[in-house]
Amino acid sequence: MLYKEWLDEWLELYVKDSTKERTYRKYKQQIDKYIVPILGDFDANRITAVDLQKFSVSLARSGLAANSVNFIVAILKSSLKKGVNLGTIDRQFTDAISRPKTRQSTVTCFSKDEQKKIESYVFTHQKPFLFGILLSLYSGLRIGELLALTWDDVDLKKGILSVTKSCHDSWAGKRYVKIFDSTKTQSSERIIPLPKQIIDYMKKLRKLTGTKFVVSGRSEYGAQIRSYQRTFSIVLRKLNIEHKGFHALRHTFATRALEVGMDVKTLSEILGHRNPMITLQRYAHSLIEHKTEMMNKVGRLLP
């Protein structure tokens, strides 16, 4: 059996119904673009460790980021190991692949002054559509979680919101459509207590919009991700703030939370991380001012 034939079978029988639609499409895209052109016509039983290593090296040397190379290698490993487990493939050598080293992506957030400017812009313009920016700054929601949020997910009496789903844009024919899906991971499903100041704004917002979605849009399905990202970019440009992605709002929330003394475990649960160690590794730099203050207190012991 040719490897490309097995990949088609693997995708259809073992990936399509067991993963999110978005994940399936990403797997297929990477397979069609990178794996099939180079390894597709190999006999699945004759792919050697050297073949796999050459493939991995060629990806890295083509300019692909280390994370992207590792994602493609992970597809190789999963598909070939499943073939061996089923007896379709005699053996596989993916454990012998030497992968490129990955680096933790740099966390970018807005300064306190920049945050004040953004908040002031939202308050000044009084457009319900912009409220999602403020909500992300004070809840740490990902953009997909934010734009999937409906008023049924919000309990204004208890002051909590439930994150149970997400959304993404998908190209359908001649336009992007909004697709609703489960959250990024199981730990991403969570309940977030809201600051009482935000609750007051949300009560006013609900009366103003009268729509199903917390962040309203032109369609009955609320705002789309690409449209909302463009809106956010325009806001930053008008405020003369250096461009940062919408995700920087989530990073800003986490940084401010640590600065005011929120413990890492609580923050981890609010952000929907699998464990506090992920939070600590990602935002350790945000604690530098606090660390400096603590070290200066220790230094006062010096005569």
Query: What SS3 state is found at 177?
Result: strand
Given this chain, do its domains 3-96 and 112-291 carry the same CATH topology? no
Q: Where are the beta strands (DSSP E) in the chain?
A: 154-155, 160-163, 166-172, 175-181, 190-193
pLDDT the model gives residue 104: 61
* Strands lying side by side in the sheet with 154-155: 154-155, 160-163, 190-193
Do residues 133 and 249 touch, judged by C-beta distance below 8 A?
yes
pLDDT tens for residues 73-100?
999 999 999 999 999 999 888 888 887 7
Average pLDDT over residues 104-122: 88
Query: What pTM was computed for the model?
Result: 0.74
Q: How far is CA 107 from CA 218, 270, 282, in A?
A: 32, 18, 7
Bridge partners for 177 per DSSP: 170
Class of 3-96 in CATH: mainly alpha
Question: Cα–Cα distance between 49 and 55 in angstroms, integer?
Answer: 10
Average pLDDT over residues 117-140: 93
- Domain 112-291: CATH superfamily is Intergrase catalytic core (1.10.443.10)
- What are the extents of the domains in the chain? 3-96, 112-291
pLDDT the model gives residue 35: 94
Average pLDDT over residues 248-271: 92
